[in-house]
Structure formats: C-alpha cells, structure tokens
Amino acid sequence: MESDLPKVCHPVGGRAMICAVVEACFEAGCSRAVVVVGYKQELVREVLRCFGDRVEFAVQHEQLGTGHAVVSAMDAFPIANRAQTDVFVLCGDGPLIRTSTLGFMLERHRSTGAHATLATSVIDDPAGYGRIVRDADHRFVRIVEQKNASDDELKINEVNPSYYCMNADAMFEALKKVRRNGLTGEYYITDVFEHMLGDGKCIEVIDAVPPQDILSINTPEHLAAVDAIYRARIQSDSQSSTSTQGAV
C-alpha cells in the first residue's frame, strides 16, 4: 500500500475502510463487534471510536494467520453462551460488503440449522483467492488457499471472499483441531470447515457475493478503484431513497 498505515485504516468513502465493514454488521443485526488488532492497533482503535462500546477489541500478539486471529478473540465469547451464539467472521479490508448479503447469509444459516455458512463468489479471474473445492455431485469439500492449490484447483472460478457465519461453539471446537499449514506456517480459519464436515456438522455454501464486491485492495490503484465504486454506490442509494420518498 506504500504506507505505514494499517490497510484497514486507509480511507474509502471518506473514512477508514473497516468502518464500512463494522457498520454493515450492525445494520445486519449484530449486537456488537469484536475487532482483532495487532500492528499499530492504536490507529485501528482510534478510527473505530465513533462506534463507542459496541466495538470491542482482541489482540493478536503474533501474526500467525486467520485461524490464529479468531482464536485470539475467544475470550470475548463466554463458554456458557457459545452454543446459542452465531458470529460473522469477516475481513476488515472489504468495504464493499453489503448488509443485504450478511442478512441473506444469516437467514439461510438459521433456517437450515447450519453450524457454519459461507458465501462464495464466481469470478472471471480467481487469482489470489482461495478456491471452493466441490465433489462430483457439486457438494462442498473444502477451501484451498491459492498457495496450496494444485494446477487443477487453480482453474476453479468459485472463490472464497471470506464471508462466514458460524455457531461460536462449533467454530471454536473446530479451531482446536486446526494445525499450522506446512507451507506457510499459518493457521487457516478456512480449515475449520473440513473439520466440521468430518465431525458430521452441517455446512451451508451459497453463491451470494456479487463479483464487484470482493475487489482486493493491495495497491493505491486498487484503493482508488474501490473508493470510486463505494462512492458511486452511496450516491446511487441516496438517489433511490430520494426518488422513493418523492413518489406518491
């Protein structure tokens, strides 16, 4: 990003991009948000002050992957309440996330009695994303990260944009079984789904994320492109609202 600023603090639509993710969660019905922080955490805490005590923080002292990040937040979810608690697990650098997508995920998650629900996207260029591996009957098998994917798996166009809804108890139990990846040395949150399936848990997989919503932000040019999309969307939503209010 050519900056010392944590990626999630870079502005999209005039505010830190993580604010859009947190706001979408609250609009989808979340009662609170637990944000995992590490590098320059004081800056992340500052940009989220506007949400008051609805945002809590968990510290990831070592950067050991997405699974390790979620484990770092375990104490924020008391054991006694986990079985009755559903959680979204999301990345802070995806400001194009839609409240409607989260709402759809949560509804499907609860109506099917799933232990975990993940939303996927089908895109023309899947480079950089984890791939959704399915069997011959199109049933979900696992998520494979690009670094670990075979040549055939790299050809898969259904990708993982990291939109998850999980029962907290099932998630933390599965995380106990996740081991460090032999290639990267990281603990992947994506490995929990394979463990859940092995334990007979119900996993829902839905193609619910529009391709334009998962644009990666890894360069200043990417940031500018996402900012333009975000601002255009806000303007369009505002015009639609004005038009509706003026209708008779």
Kindly report, residue by residue over 16-64, the tens digit of the pLDDT. Answer: 999 999 999 999 999 999 999 998 999 999 999 999 999 999 999 999 9
Ranges of each domain in the chain = 7-225
Helix 17-27 × helix 99-112 angle, to 10°: 40
What is the pLDDT at residue 229? 95
Q: How many CB atoms lie within 10 A of CB 72?
A: 19
Name the pairing type of β-strands 15-16 and 116-122: unpaired
What would the two tokens of residue 76 be?
């924020």
7-225: CATH, from 3.90.550.10, 3.30.950.10, 2.160.20.10, 3.50.50.60: 3.90.550.10
What is the pLDDT at residue 248? 46
135-144 per-position pLDDT tens digit: 999 999 999 9
**CA torsion sign, 190 to 166 to 161 to 8?**
negative
Cβ atoms of 129 and 160 within 8 Å: the answer is yes
For residue 239, is pLDDT > 80?
no
Q: How many CB atoms lie within 10 A of CB 127?
A: 9
For residue 245, is pLDDT > 70?
no
What would the two tokens of residue 11 be?
């502005």
Name the pairing type of β-strands 55-59 and 86-90: unpaired
Q: Look at 67 and 183; give whichever has higher pLDDT.
A: 67
Cβ atoms of 52 and 31 within 8 Å: the answer is no
Whole-angstrom distance between the N-terminal and C-terminal Cα of the chain? 48
Cβ atoms of 173 and 166 within 8 Å: the answer is no
Cβ atoms of 178 and 192 within 8 Å: the answer is yes
Residues in the chain: 248
Name the pairing type of β-strands 33-37 and 140-144: unpaired
